[in-house]
Amino acid sequence: MNRTERRGRAPRAGRAIRAAIALVAASVTLSGCLYAAIPEETASSAPTIEDPGNPDAFYEQELSWNDCGGFECTTVTAPLDWEDPAAGTIGLSVIRAAATGPDRIGSLLTNPGGPGASGVGLIRDSLDFAVGSALQESYDVIGFDPRGVGSSTAVRCFDAAEMDAYLYEIPENPRGSQEWEDELTERNAAFAEACEENSQGILPFITTTNAARDMDLLRGVLGDDKLNYLGYSYGTFLGATYAELYPGNVGRMVLDGAIDPSISGLEVGTEQAIGFENALRAYMAACLTTQECPFRGSVDQAMSDLGALLASVDRLPLPASDGRELGADTLVTGIVAAL
Please report, to the nearest 10 degrees, the dihedral formed by the alpha carbons of residues 82, 121, 135, 223 taken in order.
30
pLDDT at position 95 is 98
Q: 186-242, pLDDT tens digit by residue?
A: 999 999 999 999 999 999 999 999 999 999 999 999 999 999 999 999 999 999 999
Residue 315 region by backbone torsions, left for phi larger than 0, else alpha for psi between -120 and 50, else beta? alpha
pLDDT at position 53 is 79
The set of residues, in sequence order, having a beta carbon less than 8 Å from that of 126 and lying 6+ positions away, is none
Residue 313: which pLDDT band, with cuts at 50, 70 and 90? very high
Residue 169 CA to residue 18 CA, distance in Å, equals 21
Phi then psi for 149, rounded to 5 degrees? -120, 140
Average pLDDT over residues 141-158: 96
Residue 77: which pLDDT band, with cuts at 50, 70 and 90? very high
Average pLDDT, the chain: 88
* pLDDT: which is higher, 338 or 4: 338
Half-sphere exposure of residue 79: CA atoms within 13 angstroms, side-chain side: 23
Q: 156-186, pLDDT tens digit by residue?
A: 999 999 999 998 999 999 888 999 999 999 9
For residue 42, pLDDT over 50 is answered with no
Q: 109-134, pLDDT tens digit by residue?
A: 999 998 889 999 999 999 999 999 99
Query: 3-state class of 78 per DSSP?
Result: strand
